[in-house]
Amino acid sequence: GAVVSQHPSRVICKSGTSVKIECRSLDFQATTMFWYRQFPKQSLMLMATSNEGSKATYEQGVEKDKFLINHASLTLSTLTVTSAHPEDSSFYICSARMLVVGTSGGYNEQFFGPGTRLTVL
């Protein structure tokens, strides 16, 4: 259980075009999803928090008009990179948050997708 998928896994596009990346929670509902960006040999940097039915919350320094996030259902969030440029080339990772109930109580755990490699020529 708690599987998160991303589509596509890899995309190459020309500079100036827009690219949409989908993040789906396959076997659970997620009111909150997160979008991260990972540069080679570096850590994951949180870009934004995606909330179902409301506007995303962007981290400082992330252009919300550049990275459009839509969380229209409890199982799907999309990230659209608009007017992509070579500097947007990166590995984009999403996660979906789910309440996990254990023996010591409940806690929120993030389940991660496998990532999408974006290359902008």
Minimum distance from CB of 87 to other proteins (Å)?
20
DSSP string, 43-112: -EEEEEEEETTS--EEPTT--TTTEEEEEEETTEEEEEE-S--GGG-EEEEEEEEEEEEETTEEEEEEEE
Among 50, 38, 59, residue whose Cα is nearest residue 118: 38
Residue 16 binding other proteins, by CB under 8 A: no
Residue 4 binding other proteins, by CB under 8 A: yes
Footprint on residues 56-75 left by other proteins (CB under 8 A): 57
Report the residue from 11, 13, 44, 68 that binds other proteins according to the rule CB under 8 A: 44
Report the residue from 24, 37, 71, 97 that binds other proteins according to the rule CB under 8 A: 97
In the complex, the residues that contact other proteins under the rule CB under 8 A are 4, 32, 34, 41-46, 49, 57, 93, 95, 97, 107-110, 112-115
